[in-house]
Structure 1
Amino acid sequence: MSSNGFDRSAAWALLTEWTQGESLRKHALGVETCVVAYGNAEADRLGLEESDPERGELLDLYATTALLHDFDYEKHPSLEEHPFVGVRELERLGWPESLRRAILGHATYSGVPRDTYLAKVLFACDELSGFLTACALVKPSKAIADVEPANVRKKLKDKAFARGVNRQDVIQGAEELGVDLDAHIAFCLAAMQRRADLLGL
């Protein structure tokens, strides 16, 4: 748990207070899954042990940022309001600036640069996690376990599939993160497959 009380359970409570729709809640969980996987990789790079409080705080920051990135979208879906309304509420409640800036940065139209690793990870995982969910739901089993990276890459080229997903954001996200797109797809897919039960996939 984060020492300041802004932990995952607090983020989930805020998300569910503002968001009634199951699909948006599941989207938040999908993004969280991918973002936290990158957070764990970052913690490993920093040499933070499992028992290190710093690791726990870092992962809480990654989880809460992902869970809250769209928490205002159901009530305020317009480009003029999302994510600005939500970020103002987060500021009022005292949530960390690094979280708020990353959330602003995931909206390409906000004018806020993605100048932290967290901000880049959130942007890179947002559209992709939704696309991976779509790839799972068209399988006869509707199981993400049956999705393969090569199939995802093929469907990305099919403009008629999951039209709502911004392909350019998926590509740009991997570029900004400095990872190969195929590796990024495989990494996020594996993360979501490990949490399939939680994601309902």
Structure 2
Amino acid sequence: MSAGLYMRDLRIAAPGAAAPFVRIDAHVPPGQVLTVMGPSGSGKSTLLAALIGSLPPGFRLWGGIALNGRDVTDLPTEARRIGILFQDPLLFPHLSVAGNLAFALPRGLRGGARAATIEAALEEAGLGGFGPRDPATLSGGERSRVALMRTLLAAPEALLLDEPFARLDVARRAQIRAFTFDTARARGLPVVLVTHDPQDAEAAAGPLVPPFGH
């Protein structure tokens, strides 16, 4: 099996339903963005929940999920090495920007090395010197960049995007979308984007599939 994220005949049924409402069979190689596009209620977020290991009780899952040669279908979320970004950046309001980034780092990384890793991430995101800032003082685009870097500092092997650009204004959306895709590709991460926005799909420049078909 080659590198990347595999969804092998993945099917998901809602509680009490006989037939699956999510069906997908796909391989996302390193550096590629697979876009799953469909209307609200079509199962896009349910698919991401299955990939991250957070399907609500009662949902049934068939098929398999593999990442870089590891079968992760039955692993807990923290063991899958899959990161996710949501519409809301979900920064911790009681922590500084640097504190938010530090949350993703291993405990064994301490002192100067820890501070240098955080500052390097901020520099990469064009936010050098923002470490002491309160997240409440950041713009929507700045919060999105901090959320992305925090996710990447946890060293995921794949990245899931649950419409993370939807709440940004048009000018910021294009900028943050490009930054997110470019950063993920530079790290060789397979990416799954769910969206209802055709512009997201066009910018992703990868395969496009519905959540309910092969």
**TM-score (structure 2 length as normaliser):** 0.30
Higher relative contact order (CA 8 A, sep 6+): 2
Q: Which has the higher helix share?
A: 1
* Structure in which a larger fraction of residues adopt strand: 2
Larger radius of gyration: 2
